[in-house]
Amino acid sequence: MTIKMLRDLHRGATLLLYYNEFDLDRQWFPLRWAFGRFECELASEFLSLDLKGLLAHHGFGSFVTHPFLRGYVRLLGAEKLKEV
């Protein structure tokens, strides 16, 4: 589904606000517990996803990252590069 979503994006900039990449197993217990209790299984997989690499593979570049909540959440900006 992620690949289809990227193909459907129009030219221009896109912003994604979601979890930053981190190892959930190495986080403090209350965060692990809350994440396991309130988030779906796909959210856990998203933590290890190389989102910049995935976007770059689909023609995006000029990445800008703004971390929030001690780096657990990020606003990732990417710009669709011109096709040659």
Token readout for 61 is 């570049």
Phi-psi region of 34 (alpha: psi -120 to 50; beta: other; left: phi over 0): alpha
Please give the residue range of the domain that contains residue 26.
2-80
Number of domains in the chain: 1
Q: Report whether 55 contacts 47 (CB < 8 A).
A: no
13 has a pLDDT exceeding 50: yes
- Tens digits of per-residue pLDDT, 29-66? 887 787 778 877 777 777 778 888 888 888 888 898 88
The pLDDT of residue 20 is above 50: yes
